Amino acid sequence: MTPRSILTPEEAAFARARRVGRLATSDAAGHPHVVPVCYAFDGARFYTPLDEKPKRASDHALRRVRNIEARGEATLLLDHYEEDWSRLGYLLVRGRAALLPPEDPAHAPALALLRERYPPYRAMALERRAVIALTPERVTSWGPALALADPTDPAPGESVWLQPGRGLDFMPLARERRSVRAFHERPVPRAALEAMLEAARWAPSPHGRQPWRFVVLTRAEPKQRLAEAMGDEWQRTLAMDGEAAEVIALRLAKSRERIRTAPALILACLYLEDLDHYPDAERQRAEEVMAVQSLGAALQNILLAAYSLGLDTGWMCAPLFCPETVRAALALEATLLPHALIPVGYAAAPRRRPHRPASELVVRFD
């Protein structure tokens, strides 16, 4: 374990595969301070942001910032632990630390790396916040984990950790996503919405045709117009079902409010024009069912991407019951078949419905 000033390709790959590190600094008197950090590595320096989590003090009042300003040095520890001790490893990077102000030429590239690596940063306003840069001067590494890292040194942001699975902790994302009905007024950044739609386009689809199109609403006027049009149609159908007038009024008010106050809405439409066409009705129906299934996959990608960005969503199926009304309200072409409305925002009143255990959902496991 001889200290060096630069990282080997295996060490660089190991560093890029870790998701969190521990940044150690000390004040002028040598008192240590350690915090967990997210970071990015560009092959020469490590970067960690001063993000927008609520803090009781300004950036320059933070202890790690004061320590860096006082001593200009820091240490970053990256490690991997498993119960199988034949797979342990760590990387210790000591070097010069500095604060990159927004006007520094290296600030924007560092921020781009961080946002590529950690999707929640895409929804945060970090352009005016400083970024900590650590230039390695002494590097120490140990453990068989380093030998498992890919020495091809891929592009920043790529995961290269070779272990069972692909280094992606998906299950917490699937478990923690929830359906939300009430949102704060805080607007959703356009970049976050674009990232969600980017996730949607990678969903599986019949013949790779991607038979879906999306309409994104963020302005108050189209949301209000859609809420009113769908409300009028729903009022008519509720009356047909024999609902009491006061029940109809309450349900309509809640539905309109949900659409009108969502910071953003994504209308998911089925688009069948590019699918294969068959002479018999049975195969044609199967083709359309495949398209509907793939739309569900695209929407699931949207929901999970939103949650990974720190956003919350719902899933409203109301457009299925009044597609003509939705198209008319938004002046959409007849080839777009509205299927679902996804409200997007920051949850004001999160809730979780109980989910059945997998043992109740699996009818056979041979």
**Residue-wise DSSP of 164-190:** SS-S--HHHHHHH--B-S-B-SPPPPH
Distance between CA atoms of residues 107 and 220, nearest Å: 35
Strand order in the sheet with 264-270: 212-217, 264-270, 337-345, 312-313
Q: How confident is the model at residue 165 (pLDDT cuts 50, 70, 90)?
A: very low
Map residue 320 onto helix, strand or coil: helix
Map residue 77 onto helix, strand or coil: strand
Distance between CA atoms of residues 259 and 272, nearest Å: 26
Amino acid present at 110: A
What are 61-80's pLDDT values in tens digits? 789 999 999 999 999 999 99
H-assigned helices in the chain = 9-17, 63-71, 107-117, 145-148, 170-176, 190-200, 220-240, 245-261, 281-308, 323-330, 358-361
Q: How confident is the model at residue 5 (pLDDT cuts 50, 70, 90)?
A: low
Map residue 281 onto helix, strand or coil: helix
The answer to whether the CB of 100 falls within 8 A of the CB of 106 is yes
Q: How confident is the model at residue 250 (pLDDT cuts 50, 70, 90)?
A: confident
Distance between CA atoms of residues 93 and 75, nearest Å: 6
Distance between CA atoms of residues 141 and 92, nearest Å: 6
What are 143-157's pLDDT values in tens digits? 888 866 654 444 433
Distance between CA atoms of residues 188 and 126, nearest Å: 15
Q: Which residue has the tokens 């008519």?
A: 236
Domains and CATH numbers, the chain: 9-168 (2.30.110.10), 172-345 (3.40.109.10)
What are 312-356's pLDDT values in tens digits? 999 999 999 999 999 999 999 999 999 999 999 999 876 777 888
* Average of per-residue pLDDT values in the chain: 87
Distance between CA atoms of residues 105 and 102, nearest Å: 8
Tokens of 329: 């309200």
The answer to whether the CB of 102 falls within 8 A of the CB of 130 is yes
Distance between CA atoms of residues 300 and 290, nearest Å: 15
Minimal CA–CA distance to 150: which of 22, 14, 244? 14
The answer to whether the CB of 202 falls within 8 A of the CB of 212 is no
Map residue 356 onto helix, strand or coil: coil
Between the two ends of the chain, the Cα-to-Cα distance in Å is: 50
Q: How confident is the model at residue 359 (pLDDT cuts 50, 70, 90)?
A: confident
Strand partners, 171: none
Longest dimension (CA), the chain: 83
pLDDT at site 51? 77
Q: What is the mean pLDDT of residues 224-243?
A: 82
Distance between CA atoms of residues 64 and 245, nearest Å: 61
Distance between CA atoms of residues 19 and 159, nearest Å: 9
Tell me how crowded residue 212 is: count the other CB atoms within 10 A of its CB: 26
